[in-house]
Amino acid sequence: MLQLRPHQIATMDNLRMGFAMGHRAQMLYAPCGAGKTEIAVAMMDGSAKKNRRSAMLVDLKLLCAQTSARLSKYAIDHGIIQPESPRYRPELPIQVCMIQTLEARGGFPAVDVLVVDEAHTLRASVIEFVRNNPNVKVVGLSGSPFTKGLANTYTNVVSACTVNQLIDQGFLISPRIFISKQIDMDGAKKVAGEWSDKEATERGIKITGDVVAEWIAKTNEVFGGPKKTIVFCSGVAHGADLVQKFADAGFNFISVSYKDDDEYKRQVLEDFAKPDTEIHGLIATDLLTKGFDVTDVCVGVSARPFSKSFSAHVQQLGRIMRPHDSKDTAIWLDHSGNFLRFRDQWDRLCADGVTQLDDGAEKTKPEPTDVEKEKSKCPKCGCLWNSATDVCAHCGFVRARKNDVVAVAGEMTELSLVPKKEKYSAEYKSSFYAQLLGYAQEMGKNPGMAYHKYAEKFGVHPSMSKPAPVSPSAEVRSWIRSRNIAFAKRKAA
């Protein structure tokens, strides 16, 4: 029986409120791992119990099979509209539909509720359906609703959780980000604001050896050996080159692309999903950004630079953030420069979620300079600070402020995920203390814990009046984690 989590129930309530306010087409934003499919299943099941018809649109055969399997898991009868499907039963009140099949047949089924999966991919047929069917309630599902023009179809954004909240609740894993030798896209040709596949492929091949070498080094350092990996490459030729270089090093990586037939891709993905698979990693351009839910993947490699496609960056990161019983950490090896390029947007998304559909969300980002990449590096572990804190979020090292930055070339460095904040002003200290008190309250600890943590942070005990507790930010949570790590390391020494 389907049991929704509290944030999923809250999301359903927010959708009902939006419909009551007159929004007939709403975007449901939820991070990867929030259970968007479960929410959709609950909506369709609820509609069927009220004698209403519903359909869910997907654009991949893999997604069609996964959605059908999820419905079957909860013993919810349904039909599938897809060529040669054995479950073709159009009379049933719940349908899972391949959008390409509906477009080829020239029409959508008669429904009261329409759910659009991966709704950030705008399709003319969906836009036309929403425009011509004002009595149908439409819900678009997306973990990255940043495509220009979405607000012309969806008039409301609904959400009830953020990435940081899901991480705190254990429903997602915060990846450890490492930055290494990057693909040089200086002067590369762009098409519609994004680097061309041809240019990205040619330049990506030039650092294939570095990608393989860094993967070997980091998986050994963090995990003690190979872990299940996905690699996002720059094109088919780049993927083939990576397969060969990994093979030369003794590792079994398989590339999948649009050139492979569906049955081959299905078999490869099924094999890779097995706990005892002999495949070390999969390599693809964008095939693994949706419909790919292998939760024990521990390593992601970004080797496809994006100039403005924040949506693709978010989708890629989400592939390694799902928790698994055998997985307590995940790492992201960034050879594309994407994490630095989009880190401000990523921090805001993780902390605040999505509250409006912004046509300016995807625009060409300025390239970070070498100085910007190096200026906050931890001298002990190579972690890059992206906040004003003087405590390394990775190893707990406390740095002394210096005006000069020493660059260490050729080494992969870890990037802290702490958003940048003003620090050391009276307002900052008071806010930090209030958040420490909020954390102590949240964890059921004595308020004295906040008093002593404040002293650990600033070197003096708080002199201001005790502020009211507030919910801690991502920065404060990260700082507390860093101190816990440092304490555990000292205790184990």
Structure tokens at 186: 């200086």
Residue 330 lies in a domain: yes
Please say if the pLDDT value at position 407 is more than 80.
Answer: no
CB 173 within 8 A of CB 321: yes
Distance separating alpha carbons of residues 361 and 145, to the nearest angstrom? 9
The conformation of residue 324, written as its DSSP 8-state character, comes to B
- pLDDT bucket at 293, cuts 50 / 70 / 90: confident
Torsion of the alpha carbons at 457, 458, 464 and 466, rounded to the nearest 10: 10
Outline where DSSP puts E strands in 274-330. 281-284, 299-302
Q: What is the pLDDT, as a whole number, of residue 395?
A: 60
Residue 100 lies in a domain: yes
Residues 116 and 202 in one domain: no
Please say if the pLDDT value at position 376 is more than 60.
Answer: no
Residue 405 lies in a domain: no
Among 322, 338, 368, the domain-final residue is: 368
> Residues 6 or more apart from 429 whose CB is under 8 A from it?
454, 458, 462, 464
Residues 450 and 349 in one domain: no
Helix ranges, 319-383 (H): 338-352, 370-374
Residue 286 lies in a domain: yes
CB 27 within 8 A of CB 157: yes
Upper half-sphere CA count for residue 237 (Cβ side, 13 Å): 10
Among 368, 403, 436, the domain-final residue is: 368
pLDDT, mean of residues 342-361: 87
Number of domains making up the chain: 3
Residues 131 and 239 in one domain: no
Counting residues of the chain whose pLDDT is more than 70, the rounded percentage is 88
Torsion of the alpha carbons at 320, 13, 58 and 87, rounded to the nearest 10: 110
Upper half-sphere CA count for residue 6 (Cβ side, 13 Å): 5
Residues 62 and 199 in one domain: no
Residue 304 lies in a domain: yes
CATH code of 136's domain:
3.40.50.300
Q: Environment class of residue 22 by beta-carbon count within 10 Å: exposed (0-12), middle (13-18) or buried (19+)?
A: exposed
Residues 138 and 219 in one domain: no
Residues 335 and 231 in one domain: yes
Residues 321 and 257 in one domain: yes
Outline where DSSP puts E strands in 117-184. 137-142, 156-158, 176-179
Please say if the pLDDT value at position 492 is more than 90.
Answer: no
Residues 197 and 335 in one domain: yes
Task: Render pLDDT for 43-91 as a digit per residue (tens, 0 to 9).
Answer: 999 999 999 999 999 998 888 998 999 999 999 999 999 998 999 999 9
Please say if the pLDDT value at position 408 is more than 50.
Answer: no
Among 127, 161, 195, the domain-final residue is: 161
Residue 410 lies in a domain: no
The conformation of residue 329, written as its DSSP 8-state character, comes to -
Task: Render pLDDT for 471-491 as a digit per residue (tens, 0 to 9).
Answer: 888 778 878 887 887 777 666
Residues 77 and 134 in one domain: yes
Residue 374 lies in a domain: no
Angle at 40 (CA atoms; ends 21, 16), nearest 5 degrees: 15
Q: What is the pLDDT, as a whole number, of residue 378?
A: 63
Strand partners, 430: none
Q: In terms of Cα–Cα distance, which of 148, 182, 160, 123 is closest to 39?
A: 160
Residues 200 and 122 in one domain: no
Q: What is the pLDDT, as a whole number, of residue 393?
A: 62
Report the side by side order of strands in the sheet with 94-98: 79-81, 94-98, 54-58, 113-116, 137-142, 25-29, 156-158
Residue 492 lies in a domain: no
Helix ranges, 206-323 (H): 208-223, 236-248, 262-273, 310-318
Distance separating alpha carbons of residues 482 and 389, to the nearest angstrom? 11
Structural domain boundaries, residue 246: 172-368
- Which uninterrupted H or E stretch holds 194? strand 194-195
Angle at 99 (CA atoms; ends 97, 104), nearest 5 degrees: 110
Residues 131 and 59 in one domain: yes
Task: Render pLDDT for 115-169 as a digit per residue (tens, 0 to 9).
Answer: 999 999 999 999 999 999 999 999 999 999 998 899 999 999 998 899 999 999 9
Q: What is the pLDDT, as a whole number, of residue 60?
A: 86
Q: pTM here?
A: 0.76
Distance separating alpha carbons of residues 94 and 437, to the nearest angstrom? 49
More confident residue, 371 or 233: 233
Structure tokens at 377: 């590096």
Upper half-sphere CA count for residue 138 (Cβ side, 13 Å): 27
> Residues 6 or more apart from 149 whose CB is under 8 A from it?
122, 359
Task: Render pLDDT for 262-280 as a digit per residue (tens, 0 to 9).
Answer: 889 889 999 999 999 999 9
Residues 150 and 277 in one domain: no
